Amino acid sequence: MSAEELSTTLLADAFVSDEPPADLWSRIAAARARRLRARRRWRVAAAGAALSIVAAAVVLFPTANGSGETDWQARAQALEIELHSAPRTAAEFYDPAAAETASELALLDGALQAAYDRGAPESEIVPLWKKRSELLTVLLDVRRRDAAVTRI
Amino acid sequence: MNAAHDPGAGFAQDVDAMTLARAQRGDMQAFAAIYERFGRACFMLALRMLGQRQHAEDLVQEVFLKMMDTLRSYRGDAPFGAWLKRMAVNACIDHLRRQRGNLEDDAEAAFAHLPGDHAEAASAVDAAALLARLPPRARAVLVLHELEGYTHAELAALFGQSESYSKSIVARALGRLRTLVSTASPLQQVPPCPQKN
């Protein structure tokens, strides 16, 4: 028998009767679940930290130009982060108010982008950000209300 | 060839497109189906390369967790089994690199401090025991070359070494196995390993 045949035979025979433990998949699945939970916790913590920073910025620097008016852009961005960090509920998908608001928000985003693209003045852009903040507040209220109902 | 004798047969299997698509969306049942198909092949490869059950179990877990994380990036350029096998081989090599004492870049040094060929000759009739008497990296190179069909060029790339290193390791490992067998009992007297039906 050549050395090559010898080694192939030996290697093929080595451990041939060994089987992976029956519970190996359940251990892998459990490790996967732990990993996903840890990632989810990290995302929530990161979103919370980002929200805190933006909220602090809104509180500390409430105006963009020192005129005493609300910075609607910063407010809308803070609301958006808050909206994304709030758990989405199944009821939200069937809520007509939420659907209508989401669709209005999509149209508004298009208008806002178009305004920026053509270099529209602040006087035109600020009301759009204000409207965006209002729509996000509505969506956030719906999500919070649904979450409360789900908990009950 | 009996599938139990050929770990490559496990990796050569196909995964249907539906299961793959579900797994790419994170469906745990689809992952379980993939494990059902490839878990044993992965375990056998790791066991032969690493030589210890506990290490092989840890490695299978590591490979499947990584597969679940990266499956979305799989585009089907290579068969799924080949993709998974490459992941398993790389994980085994990383494992060997992490272990102290397995880092001999010199083929000569890899075989320098082994026990004498006549030691424990009786146990040498057991194929797994024979493999265990090769240096870890030499065993891994030999398994990949002899059983998995890797070329010396591929092995050189995988281990970050030259082709001559791979050739030297394989030749020395084969020589050592031959010596071990000849000092034990003829191979024909080795009792057949039990097989699953």
Please check whether residue B152 lies inside any domain of the structure. yes
Considering Cα of B158, then B163, then B167, then B173, what sign does the dihedral take?
Answer: negative
Of B69, B98, B127, the domain-final residue? B98
* Total domains present in chain B: 2
B84 within 8 A of B35, measured Cβ to Cβ: no
Residues B118 and B177 in one domain: yes
Residues B91 and B152 in one domain: no
Of B98, B133, B168, the domain-final residue? B98
Give per-residue burial for A95-105: e unless 16+ CB within 10 Å, then b: beebeebeebb
Q: Is B146 on the interface with A (CB under 8 A)?
A: yes
Q: What percentage of chain B exceeds 90 in pLDDT?
A: 46
d(CA B121, CA B138): 20
Residues B87 and B10 in one domain: yes
| B103 vs B171: which has the higher pLDDT | B171
Residues B129 and B46 in one domain: no
Report the residue of B57, B62, B150 to disrupt the A interface, i.e. the one with the largest count of A CBs within 10 Å: B57
Residues B39 and B63 in one domain: yes
Q: How far is B188 from chain A (nearest CA, A)?
A: 10
Please check whether residue B61 lies inside any domain of the structure. yes
Q: Do B61 and A31 touch (CB under 8 A)?
A: yes
Residues B180 and B111 in one domain: yes
As a whole number, the mean pLDDT across chain B is: 80
Q: How far is B112 from chain A (nearest CA, A)?
A: 21
Which residues of A fall within a CB distance of 8 Å from B43?
18-20, 24
Determine the average pLDDT of the residues in B46-61: 93
Question: Least CA distance to B128: which residue of chain A?
Answer: A14
Residues B76 and B149 in one domain: no
Which residues of A fall within a CB distance of 8 Å from B174?
3-4, 6-7
The CATH number of whichever domain residue B12 belongs to comes to 1.10.1740.10
Q: Write out pLDDT tens, residues B120-152.
A: 444 445 777 778 888 888 989 998 998 888 999
Q: Do B147 and A15 touch (CB under 8 A)?
A: no
- ipTM score of complex: 0.73
A58 within 8 A of A96, measured Cβ to Cβ: no
Please check whether residue B195 lies inside any domain of the structure. no
Question: Least CA distance to B171: which residue of chain A?
Answer: A3
Residues B121 and B146 in one domain: yes
Considering Cα of A134, then A140, then A145, then A146, what sign does the dihedral take?
Answer: positive
Q: Taking 90 as the threshold, does the pLDDT of residue A76 lie above it?
A: no
Q: Is A26 on the interface with B (CB under 8 A)?
A: no
Q: Write out pLDDT tens, residues A14-67.
A: 777 788 999 999 999 999 999 999 988 888 888 888 888 877 777 776 655 555
Residues B13 and B86 in one domain: yes
Q: How far is A90 from chain B (nearest CA, A)?
A: 19
Q: Which of A11, A28, A32 sits opposite B143 (nearest CB)?
A: A11
The CATH number of whichever domain residue B125 belongs to comes to 1.10.10
Q: Which of A6, A12, A21 sits opposite B147 (nearest CB)?
A: A12
Residue A21 in 3-state DSSP? coil
Residues B140 and B60 in one domain: no
d(CA A131, CA A111): 11
DSSP code at position A82? H
B106 within 8 A of B168, measured Cβ to Cβ: no
Encoded tokens for B138 = 């030499």
| A45 vs A1: which has the higher pLDDT | A45
Most confident region among A62-76, B10-24, B119-133 by mean pLDDT = B10-24
Q: What stretch of H or E contains B164?
A: helix B163-183
Which residues of B fall within a CB distance of 8 Å from A17?
193-196
Domain ranges of chain A: 22-151
- Which amino acid makes up residue B145? H
B152-159 vs B163-183: helix axis angle to the nearest 10?
110
Q: Taking 70 as the threshold, does the pLDDT of residue B57 lie above it?
A: yes
- Which amino acid makes up residue A126? V
Residues B67 and B90 in one domain: yes
Q: Do B4 and A28 touch (CB under 8 A)?
A: no
Which residues of B fall within a CB distance of 8 Å from A11?
48, 127, 131, 142-143, 146-147
Residue B112's domain comprises: 107-189
| A24 vs A7: which has the higher pLDDT | A24
Please check whether residue B196 lies inside any domain of the structure. no
Of B79, B98, B117, the domain-final residue? B98
DSSP B41-70: HHHHHHHHHH--HHHHHHHHHHHHHHHHHH
Please check whether residue B26 lies inside any domain of the structure. yes
Residues B79 and B134 in one domain: no
